[in-house]
């Protein structure tokens, strides 16, 4: 799994973490939808886009770029995508660009062409190794930093984050999803280890056998089925077929379909 894929998966599952990174209230995530958007000309794609859900014109839209490799063309591409997007969609919201780097040494500023733009309040550059201690107190920001943690120390940090998640997150499904994400990052960082070895290393073997974890797992599966219903309706499947495919009661599918139509 590529590093940027991990980040986009993280922001998709836990959008509040993005707002913590930019020193905004995590509650702001409720007002946004995280998505991607194709800019048709030249086949550009904005891979990370936080769009306000409600039509509140003061709320900015956020274009997110995760950059973990030096790229001399990054700002040429990023600002081209931005202005083509503005021309094509003419959004009602002011734009903000957020670029996430592991460290300053990765960045290629290109100040000749973009020096003044990079100084705008609308452009924010985040260097993960320079985050404040206050930011690091958040389990979400800790998960972000786990991505750049050295291989030797990553398992210990992951164990601390798992304990933080248990203590700070009361919703069992959210807690389980975050713990699974922490485990996935370690699997990515230690490809020579098996999933079973990593579970034992992080102390997850016993946790995954607990009743609470199993119940949260089942609840998460149920939620995943419900989220699949609108997509299956769009593909033209009947409600009876959807109920059969997802192994759900027909009345549950009917209720989800009603919410989707509304």
State the pLDDT at residue 185.
Answer: 87
Rounded CA-CA distance 232/93 in Å is 31
Local structure of 64: helix, strand or coil: strand
State the pLDDT at residue 1.
Answer: 46
Q: Which of 24, 3, 179 is nearest to 100 (CA)?
A: 3
Q: Are 51 and 95 in contact (CB under 8 A)?
A: no
pLDDT tens for the chain, 262 residues long, are: 466 777 887 888 888 899 989 988 888 999 998 887 766 554 556 678 899 987 788 899 999 999 989 999 999 999 999 999 999 889 999 999 999 999 999 999 889 999 999 999 999 999 998 887 666 678 888 888 888 888 999 999 999 999 998 888 888 778 888 888 888 888 888 888 887 888 888 887 665 655 555 554 555 555 556 666 776 676 566 787 777 766 777 877 787 777 666 5
- 232, containing H or E segment: helix 211-234
Structure tokens at 49: 């886009």
The separation between CA 21 and the C-alpha centre of its own chain, rounded to angstroms, equals 12
- 202-251, pLDDT tens digit by residue? 887 665 655 555 554 555 555 556 666 776 676 566 787 777 766 777 87
Average pLDDT taken over every residue of the chain: 82
CA triplet 213, 216, 218: central angle to 5 degrees? 110
Rounded CA-CA distance 121/164 in Å is 33
Rounded CA-CA distance 135/47 in Å is 25
Rounded CA-CA distance 59/98 in Å is 15
Q: Are 69 and 106 in contact (CB under 8 A)?
A: yes
Alpha carbons within 13 angstroms on the beta-carbon side of residue 223 total 11
Residues with Cβ within 8 Å of 230's Cβ and at least 6 positions away in sequence, in order, are 256, 257, 260
Task: Give the CATH number of domain 1-131.
Answer: 3.40.1350
Q: Are 139 and 159 in contact (CB under 8 A)?
A: no
Domain ranges of the chain: 1-131, 149-205, 214-261
Q: What is the dihedral of CA 150, 156, 162, 166, to 10 degrees?
A: -140
Rounded CA-CA distance 201/221 in Å is 26
Rounded CA-CA distance 218/43 in Å is 40
């Amino acid at each position: 799994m590529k590093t940027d894929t991990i980040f986009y998966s993280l922001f998709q599952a836990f959008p509040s973490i993005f707002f913590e990174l930019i020193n905004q209230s995590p509650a702001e995530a409720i007002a946004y939808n995280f998505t991607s958007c194709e800019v048709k000309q030249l086949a550009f794609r904005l891979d990370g886009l936080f769009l306000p859900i409600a039509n509140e014109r003061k709320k900015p839209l956020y274009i997110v770029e995760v950059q973990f490799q030096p790229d001399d063309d990054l700002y040429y591409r990023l600002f081209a995508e931005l202005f083509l997007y503005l021309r094509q969609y003419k959004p009602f919201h002011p734009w903000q660009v957020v670029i996430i780097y592991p460290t300053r040494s990765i960045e290629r500023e290109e100040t000749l062409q973009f020096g003044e733009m990079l100084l705008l309040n609308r452009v924010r550059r985040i260097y993960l190794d320079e985050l404040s201690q206050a930011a690091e107190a958040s389990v979400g920001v800790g998960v972000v930093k786990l991505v750049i943690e050295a291989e030797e120390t990553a398992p210990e940090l992951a164990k601390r984050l798992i304990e933080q998640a248990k203590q700070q997150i009361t919703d069992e499904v959210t807690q389980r999803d975050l713990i699974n994400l922490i485990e996935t990052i370690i699997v990515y960082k230690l490809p020579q280890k098996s999933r079973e070895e990593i579970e034992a290393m992080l102390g997850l073997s016993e946790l995954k056998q607990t009743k609470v974890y199993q119940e949260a797992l089942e609840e998460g599966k149920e939620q995943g089925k419900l989220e699949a219903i609108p997509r299956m309706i769009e593909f033209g499947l009947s409600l009876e077929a959807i109920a059969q495919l997802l192994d759900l009661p027909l009345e549950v599918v009917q209720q989800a379909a009603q919410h989707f139509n509304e």
